[in-house]
Structure 1
Amino acid sequence: MLIVTGASGKLGGLVVEALQRLVTADQIGVSVRDSEKLAGLAARGVRVRRGDYENADSLRHAWEGASRVLLVSSNAASSGGDPLQQHETAIAVAKELGVERLLYTSQVSANEQSHFPPGRHHAATEAMLADSGLAWTSMRHGFYADSAMSMNAQGFANGNLVGPADGKVAWTTHEDLAHVDALLLAGKETFEGVTPPLTGSEGLDLADLAQMASGATGRTIKRQIINEEEMIENLQRANLPEAVKSVILGYYRAAQAGEFAMVDPTLERLLGQRPRPMQNVVRRHLV
């Protein structure tokens, strides 16, 4: 059985949709904290069970009979939790159950020296996987294209994208990544260990996005660069949690350092077509 964790989230839900085009429903199981949210999937023959990274017994039940498991990375850090402890629990359960391959949703910034806090978490999780004795694949996702829109929603609305100096990002859609994750989970192709970067086909910085949004909306949208001290003051006034502020600042530092800039053809090859362009994402959100 092929298990998808986090199937009530955007990525996990799209993976399940893509997986249903590759295998029959009775070969798919989903592991979610609230199984009632996915009653529709259960009605279509997908096995739906409660599985929580904080509870090893729940994972043992949710992953019963699993040959392959897609471990969608935890976002516990955003609410003060410990994603690495959760990943450690999940990896231990997968090993205990004899899972044939554990696939993990990582990111292109995965590096223990990354400026981006999630990048350090991904690197630490990949090290756990390497030490686990399991067969594993870590999908190095490009930065989610929707994040570009949500992080800058206020700026797109008021016509001014404000932030420190950044750098090019090969923005990549959830839909394209989910399609490829499903292919790999279904065993249509196998990567041992870390995949090449799974990215969109072009790198764009915030100035590029401002220009793109201006063209799409017919409004003037500018890019205003401020220093990091001003950004910190803005974040403090917004009264955001420390973990969130750390991620936002880390994003700008990592982007400026080129951590998200790599463009690789692997995603296009696996998709069999060009990745969805950022222009489409901008239009979907703003027009």
Structure 2
Amino acid sequence: MIVVSAASGALGTRVVDRLLTRCPADRVAAVVRAPDRAAGLAARGVQVRHGDYNTPDTLVDAFKGADRLLLISSPELDPQHRVRQHRAAVDAAREARVGVIVYTSFLSADTEPSGLTAAHHATEQALSAAGVPHTLLRHPFYSEAFLNPGLKAAADAGELTDGTGGRGLNTASRDDLAEAAARVLTEDHHVSRAYDFTGPLWTYPQLAEALTRVTGTPVVLRERPDRLPDAQGWLEEQVRAGALERQTDDLQRVLGRPATTLEEAVAALFGAPSN
């Protein structure tokens, strides 16, 4: 049995979709906080189980019978709360005698114990201490944080603003990361491995060029000197500092194909064929 936690989220639903192309539905269980909202999964033959990171007592039964468990990291922003949730999930998986835990971590969680990766670092340590075989999938930022429907306004205006200083981004799409997770969950040679996933490096000047090609309308790039007043501004600062330029071939190797390119992502966003 393959069990997917947080299965009703943006990543979890994609993982379940891909699992159903690789194994029978009765071999897949989806752990969700609100089973009554997962009728669509049940209708596809997936076993729907109640499990809530904030209610540890629900997790042991939710994880029982799992040969493989995909432990998708909590969306909780407070690191201490997130660590408590993850440790409770790891303890529950051990009590439920889960065969292998596959955890969605974050790039550099193995070497950076503070800041953005603090909770992931602590969770990786908890997994090591638990004595349960596990695989680490260290994700980059999602491409969708940058390549989203908001680009349509930029294309309509013929202008793309940029606060990254032209530095590279190693983002990966949720679809690619979900497919990689499904492969790891259904293939035997990934146990006890740690993967540092990155997508093909791209820049905002390249994005402006891709928008121009895909839409057929010139899109110029304009440098924005002021920091955006929200999370997007913080993300741009990370890019400007070069924090998103690390590259590995782990994602490509697990997928067995190249990861989605910038051109392909933009074409999909606009419903256009990619070259």
Q: TM-score, normalised by structure 1?
A: 0.82
Contact 2:7 2:32 in 1 (8 A): yes
| Counterpart residue number, 1:168 | 168
- Residues 98 and 262 of structure 1: is their aligned pair in 2 closer, same or farther, counting only changes over 3 Å? same
1:150 is paired with a residue whose SS is coil
Question: Which residue identity does 1:95 align to in structure 2?
Answer: R
After superposition, give the CA deviation of every residue in 1:143-184 in whole Å (9 maximum; x if it has no partner). 322222239646556423242536212232222221111111
**5+ residue gaps in structure 2?**
none
SS at match of 2:38: helix
Task: Report deviation, 1:105.
Answer: 1.0
Tell whether the 8 Å contact from 2:170 to 2:244 is kept in structure 1 after alignment. Answer: yes
Partner of 1:33: 33
Query: Residues of 2 paired with 1:209 and 1:120: CA distance?
Result: 31
Deviations 1:10-58 (A, max 9, x none): 2111111111222222211110112123212212321101211101122
Separation of aligned partners in 2, 1:156 and 1:94: 47
Whether the 8 Å contact between 1:2 and 1:66 is mirrored in structure 2 is yes
Q: 1:125 is aligned with what amino acid?
A: T
Distance in 2 separating the partners of 1:88 and 1:156: 45
More helix by share: 1
Report sequence identity in percent: 29
Corresponding residue SS for 1:134: coil
Matching residue's letter, 1:258: G
**Aligned length in residues:** 269
Alignment correspondent of 1:93: 92
- The correspondence for 2:145, drawn from 125, 144, 147, is 147
Of the structure 1 ranges 46-55 and 216-225, higher mean CA displacement relative to structure 2 is found in: 216-225
Tell me the equivalent position of 1:210: 208
Q: Is the contact made by 1:168 and 1:261 (CA closer than 8 Å) also made in structure 2?
A: yes
Please say which of residues 19-28 and 46-55 is displaced more in the overlay.
Answer: 19-28
Amino acid at match of 2:221: R
Q: How does 1:265-284 map to 2 (within 5 A)?
A: 265-284=249-268
The alignment's C-alpha RMSD in Å is 2.7
1:8-27 superposed matches below 5 A: 8-27=8-27
CA–CA distance in structure 2, aligned partners of residues 114 and 224 of structure 1: 36
Specify the alignment match of 1:185 in structure 2.
Answer: 185
Tell whether the 8 Å contact from 1:112 to 1:120 is kept in structure 2 after alignment.
no
CA–CA distance in structure 1, aligned partners of residues 150 and 106 of structure 2: 20
Structure 1 segments unaligned to the other structure (5+ residues)? 236-244
Letter in 1 for 2:84: Q
> Is 1:254 aligned to 2:254, yes or no?
no
Report the Cα distance in structure 2 between the residues aligned to 1:264 and 1:164, rounded to whole angstroms: 21
Query: Could you report, residue by residue, the CA deviation over 1:60-90 in whole angstroms, capped at 9, with x for unpaired residues?
Result: 2221222221011111118x99322211211
Residue identity matched to 2:173: T
Moved more, 155-164 or 99-108: 155-164
The match for 1:106 is 105
SS of corresponding position for 1:213: helix
Residues 3 and 31 of structure 1 are in contact (CA less than 8 Å); yes or no, is this contact kept in structure 2?
A: yes
